[in-house]
Structure 1
């Protein structure tokens, strides 16, 4: 009974795995922290740098660098001041290989300045972005990975890996 209340319309009489390809794509940005037991409604977009509190139910898009929590998830606060968000968004530190770069993470401002300096000097290198797509495989779900451009079934390499995540995607 509860299943029918959540999965109405074309989803009402079949398990969600059978309708997986029809579900809207959910996008999760870079540098996002998602607490345990979070539920995301299919099709939402989670902005870069966002934080989602444990057990939250996300029913609408979350702007970049926003902290949300609750049922439904509501904005608690901005993660950083606007001027810092602009610097982080311009730098996109997650696109650089920082392993072994010995960045001091004491404050966001100091870390950004250090990363900018290392990028200018060539001490850290840009690395290609990896994209992932969850897909239906047999009776379960799988994860596709594409190294250099958004995933396409016709182009690029893929690797299939077991799927496991602590986020539930709900198709409404």
Structure 2
């Protein structure tokens, strides 16, 4: 492992066979294996970079984020509770909390590519192989299975249904008889 100047590694971190640029910050309890982290990037706390990751300058990988064989562009961020595997993420991308790249179909791994300036909303599920174009938006809670063109908005979720008075009707409904032993 090699460290650039002015790096900060907090307690509880485990680092192996990795290369860090200048002013990289690892907050507590990060695990980094066989990765490259460029200048001014911030990791953690509690993040996991598995082998083959490359984190661009000034990128932020936050709480409970796991990356595997992924490249994260300059200034991009995945701040909370995400899994990014077999992905290439451009510059200045936001990966929302709870986002998952579904990279394995049961037989093979597939890549997700996210273009520069894209915004992926909270709890998005990105089913690879998949391309999210530059400047595109993915709506929170969406499951995305088809490529999203540059500058487009993709929303893939069922519409919310509200049934007024449902709880009261349920409470008044007769209960099914319980079977006798």
**What TM-score comes out, normalization by structure 2 length?**
0.30
Structure number having the greater helix percentage: 1
Q: Which has the higher strand share?
A: 2
Query: Which has the higher Rg, Structure 1 or Structure 2?
Result: 2
